[in-house]
Amino acid sequence: MAVVAFIGLGNMGGPMAVNLLKSGHQVCVHDLMPAAVDLLVAEGAQSAASATACVEGADFVISMLPASRHVEGLYLGEEGLLQSIAPETVIIDSSTIDADSARKVAAAAAEFGIAMLDAPVSGGVTAAAAGTLAFMCGGDAETFSMARSVLEDMGKNIFHAGDHGAGQVAKACNNMLLAIHMIGSSEALRLGADNGLDPAVLSEIMLASSGRNWSLEVYNPYPGVMDTAPASNNYQPGFMVDLMVKDLGLAMDCAVGSGSSTPLGSMARSLYAAHAANGNGDRDFSSILEVLGQ
């Protein structure tokens, strides 16, 4: 079993750290929110007053932070964490950030002789708690091989997408598609309901037909159709609209950088940004159905 330092214990990071504890790893945690730390300590984790103290003696450092600036702020600079991490340690950053920032931090880590992966996740809070996340990893094959056993204690689908930054690009592509088919599923269900169809029956029809997709299968956006979906609990909890806006922004940045045409992705970003601006930022992203009518 490994010694793991886990930094960032939010809705995703907390359950991920719990699964490492359940797998027998020695886990030290750090977060700016004391309550989040207390929850992990109750599960058997050790705590540290600072990120620097947390990484001492760690085999792996895992970070799960909100945005690029937080990741760069944690690792880089004269007081950055890279100054305190031993060369034999492997860094796994599971934050969803832009690919250029991931490459920048990985290059700085390499100067210290530290191996690093960008390893954003897919699956949401439910998968984080169940240990069934998908990890999309960017970095060299040797580092991916070293990290795989730890990643498998938090997820069930572990992918090596390519070199540094590739994990972030894969995440941006995935979440752009997720937004598009969630909006499309919502449109279809609203159209059916407006024309007198039972959304549950229509969902069954589309799931057995060419319209089948993940949103319909496991995350139905129409209230009352799927008891386990956020839509049936006033769109709580889940993957927040604000986070979808962030991820779609990252996808659009990728598209600008490569000169790629993403008209549906651009439209999805506009719809979700407007939804967030109307006070829905903390609701689940499947609440986009409400934009189409009540």
Alpha helices in the chain (DSSP H): 13-22, 34-42, 51-54, 68-75, 99-111, 124-130, 141-152, 166-194, 199-207, 214-218, 241-258, 263-275
* Residue 153 and residue 59 in contact, taking contact as beta carbons nearer than 8 Å: no
Active site residue 246: no
**Residue 85: CB atoms within 10 Å:** 24
* Residue 281 and residue 240 in contact, taking contact as beta carbons nearer than 8 Å: yes
DSSP 13: H
Helix, strand or coil for residue 209?
Answer: coil
Which amino acid is residue 136, in one-letter code?
A: M
Please write down the HEC assignment for all residues of 246-281. HHHHHHHHHHHHHCCCCHHHHHHHHHHHHHHHHHHC
**Catalytic residue (choose from 22, 104, 171, 246):** 171
* Residue 182 and residue 119 in contact, taking contact as beta carbons nearer than 8 Å: no
List, in order, residues 6 or more apart from 119 with CB less than 8 Å away.
92, 93, 94, 135, 136, 137, 138, 147, 151, 167
Residue 12, H or E segment: none
In the beta sheet, which residues pair with residue 133? 155
List, in order, residues 6 or more apart from 56 with CB less than 8 Å away.
48, 84
Instruction: Catalogue the active-site residues.
Output: 171
